[in-house]
Amino acid sequence: MKRALLAQLGEAGLLRLLTGRWPRKGRSVTVGVGDDCAVLRLGKRSLLFKTDVVVENVHFGPRTPARLIGRKALARALSDIAAMGGIPLAAVITLGLPPNESPRRLAGIYRGIETIARKHGVELVGGETTRAAQLFLNVALLGECRDGPPVLRSGARAGDLIFVTGQLGATQARQHLVFEPRLAEGRWLARHRVASAMMDLSDGLGADLPRLGEASHLGHEIDAHKLPRRRGASVEAAINDGEDYELLFTVPANRAAWLKKKWPFATALHCIGTMRKGPASALAHGFDHFKQR
């Protein structure tokens, strides 16, 4: 039998290979592999645990402003906390860097981390440094759900309407460097029990909506004409580019009118389709770090 290459496995196949034997629940684990964050039990508390990494020449370039590199490193993890309806608590940062890296640049990166941490009440409590071939930052972030149970990817039901916040097609507009994690919006949706399933759009609608459908054992139908696109972004870019960091969530049809009436945020809200019975269907390719297109 011919061995599968990483490019043939893709990101999803790689995760199945590496974590397929891991339990999804445990003595202190409510939700393990397969959602935006792990959910840990601590008495009556639901703690959220997330790790995320940014790598030079993958997530940012050598000319990216230092503060925006640091901002993005923490904001990505904050977006996953938002997708569970939680609030962030504390973070540790692992820094990998080549010996010739500029200390001034590194100081700027950490100023960017500190600024967004202060804005969202995140305590920076430590980390690690290591020599590496190229600059990278890994953020491990702890959060908590205080307004009810975490909103998972697996709660959608057939007939639920599909919503997204904001606009899609962020990569071409460099919005991936300055996006606002939808923490207040995610927490509001959790508090009012209006979202049946939720995740953030990090790899593009074409990759992430099928993941939500697979977790909920459903397919989906969307109307491409209803996709909210950034100026200059094509439908293909809105579906496939990734790094939008908007919320993707489902709502029972009988609560959609209430949601639209009560939504208290300036962040735009868009209904783009419906969850349906059937297998999780592929919308398009979305972004994949490894898979051949």
pLDDT (tens digit per residue) in 131-189: 999 999 999 999 999 988 999 999 999 999 999 999 998 665 578 899 999 999 999 99
pTM: 0.88
Label residue 292 by pLDDT band (50, 70, 90). very low
Label residue 42 by pLDDT band (50, 70, 90). confident
pLDDT (tens digit, 9 = 90+) per residue, 115-133?
Answer: 999 999 999 999 999 999 9
pLDDT at 8: 67
pLDDT (tens digit, 9 = 90+) per residue, 10-31?
Answer: 766 666 777 667 777 767 888 7
pLDDT at 45: 87
186-198 mean pLDDT:
97
The architecture of the domain spanning 153-276 is: Alpha-Beta Complex (3.90)
pLDDT (tens digit, 9 = 90+) per residue, 48-91?
Answer: 999 999 999 989 999 999 999 999 999 999 999 999 999 999 99
pLDDT at 280: 52
pLDDT at 36: 81
Check if the beta carbon of residue 48 is closer than 8 Å to that of residue 42: no
Q: Does domain 34-145 have CATH number 3.30.1330.10?
A: yes
pLDDT at 290: 45
Domain-by-domain residue ranges, the chain? 34-145, 153-276
pLDDT at 2: 45
Label residue 1 by pLDDT band (50, 70, 90). very low
